[in-house]
Amino acid sequence: MESGRRHHPRVHALATIVARSLDELLPPTCPGCGREGESLCLSCAAPLRARLDQPPGQPLGLEAHLPRHIVQLEWCAPFTGPVRACLHALQYVG
């Protein structure tokens, strides 16, 4: 058990080096706009951040007359533009 703890910082350091090397060789690309350098750029993240400032229960998207028990469902953001591109990248590309 003791020896496993000694290797933990080394494994973490090696993983950090590998991750940084991969970022240099294959930099992250924003799935919303394709901009290289960030996994999600600030402009594409804006629709997701906007929801944080809104109170819970505020409807988003198309208004509809829903049964009372469904009204509790909330969306993070409308499924369009960069949000849609990001979710598709997460689902289909990983």
pTM: 0.51
Distance (Å) of CA 90 to CA 41, 48, 54, 62, 74: 15, 15, 25, 24, 20
The amino acid at residue 46 is A
pLDDT digits (tens, 9 = 90+) for 43-77: 888 887 877 777 766 665 556 666 666 655 566 77
Among residues 57, 86, 89, 61, which one has the least CA distance to residue 74? 57
Number of domain units in the chain = 1
- Give the domain extent around 83: 2-93
